[in-house]
Amino acid sequence: MSIIRPFRADDLFKFNNINLDIWTETYGLGFYFNYLSRWPDMCSTAQHPNGRLMGYVIGKAEGSSHDFHGHVTALTVAPEYRRLSLARTLMNFLETVSDEVYGGLFVDLYVRCTNAIAIDLYEGLGYSVYRRVREYYGSLGLGPGGKDEEDAFDMRKPLVRPNGRDMIVSAHDVS
């Protein structure tokens, strides 16, 4: 039981219960407004009927004609609202818009190679590892997971046709 509605600028005043969680970054105003002023239809918030925000997804459409696709920039659910399939609902929303509004060929996202829970979730939603991006999270340095901590998987889900996989590229080659 959640309200699925557009992500709005004033959600920034209320998203603390989501963003105070360690895994969710709070960016500068420009980050959110860049998405809202360009792809507002790819941003959505889940809200509890009591008014508390539960999670949100922020995405964009990018690429040139042959690889035009939807991209999940941020997907997050507050700790107290996890295990309610909210991530699945928000991802479904983004996939539908990527497909039906933007005519994207696939949806992609980056995930830390060590984040097994997230990878499982995305695999369950039909995403698969397309390539490994070296040092994508390099700024944090090597954690206990070694290289896995720094590298990201670029995961994709085809909307129209499948793509190849199992390539390794450097961080410079991705946007």
Partner 1 sequence: MSTLALERQIRPIYDSLDSGSHKSALLACNKLLKKHPKNDHLKALKALALTRAQKFEEAIALCEEVLATKPTDDGAINALMHALRHLGRFADLVKLFEDAFKQQPDNDELGRQAFFANVRAGNWKAAQLLANKLNKQFHNDRYIFWGIMCTVLQANDPMTTAEMREILLKLAHRLITTSWKPAEVHADRLYLFVTILQQLGLYKDARELLNTESGRFHCARNLSCDYLRRDIMRAGDWQREEAETAEQRILSKRDRNWLEFVSILDATFLPSALPNETTCESNSSSPSSFLQRVEKTRDLFTKVAEEDGSHERAAWLGLMELERRCGVHGIVSEPSRLLDLLKRYFRIFGDKAACFEDLRPYTDLGSDVLADWLAFLEGITHSPPSNTALSRFINAHKLLRHGLSVAQLTPDQEEIRAADLVRGYFEALPLEKDLPNLELQPADDLAVLAGQVYANAFTLDNAAAHLHKAIVVLEYASKKSPQSYQIHLELVRIYRLLGAPQLALDHYRLLNVKQIQNDTLSYLILSRSTNFSLAATGDLTYASECLESSHIYFSNSQETSEFIVKAFSMEKYSQISELVVFEERLDNSLQRDLVKIEHVRLRISHEPITPELVDMELIELKFIFDRLHHDNRDLEVLPNYQPRGQLSFLSQTTLFGREPATGWLSAFLKIYIKTLSEASDLDPSVEDDKLLIGDRPRQCCSPDASIPLMERLTIQTTEELSELTENELALFHYVNDLTDWLDPFHNFLRPQGESPKQAPKNGQSSNDGVPSDGNGKKLEDAPPITEPPDSILSYFKNAHAKFTGAVEGRRPFYEILHIATLTQEALLLFFICTKRFKDASIVRINKLGVLAQHIKSLRSSAADVVGQIGAQLINISELEGTADKRRQFIEHCEALQTHTEITHEYVLEVGKRLTESQRKVLEGVGRGIERIRKTPM
Using CB under 8 A as the criterion, which residues of the chain lie in contact with partner 1 when the complex forms? Answer: 1-6, 8-10, 12-14, 16-17, 19-23, 26-30, 33-34, 36-38, 40-41, 44, 48-52, 54, 79-85, 89, 93, 96-97, 100-101
Burial class for 160, CB neighbours closer than 10 Å (0-12, 13-18, 19+): exposed
Q: Assess contact for 70 and 53: CB atoms under 8 A.
A: no
Nearest approach, Cβ of residue 134 and partner 1 (Å): 23
Q: Which is nearer to partner 1, 48 or 134 (CB)?
A: 48
- Which of residues 26 and 170 has its CB atom nearest to partner 1 in the complex? 26
Nearer to partner 1, 93 or 127 (CB): 93
In degrees, to the nearest 5, what angle opens at C-alpha 31 toward C-alphas 175 and 43? 90
Please state, in angstroms and rounded to a whole number, the distance separating the CA atoms of residues 168 and 156.
14
Q: What number of other Cβ atoms are within 10 A of residue 6's Cβ?
A: 11
Helix-helix angle 86-100:116-124, to 10 degrees: 50
What's the rounded Cα separation, in Å, for the pair 151 and 138? 7
CB of 164 to partner 1, least distance (A): 30
**Looking at beta carbons only, is 29 or 168 nearer to partner 1?**
29
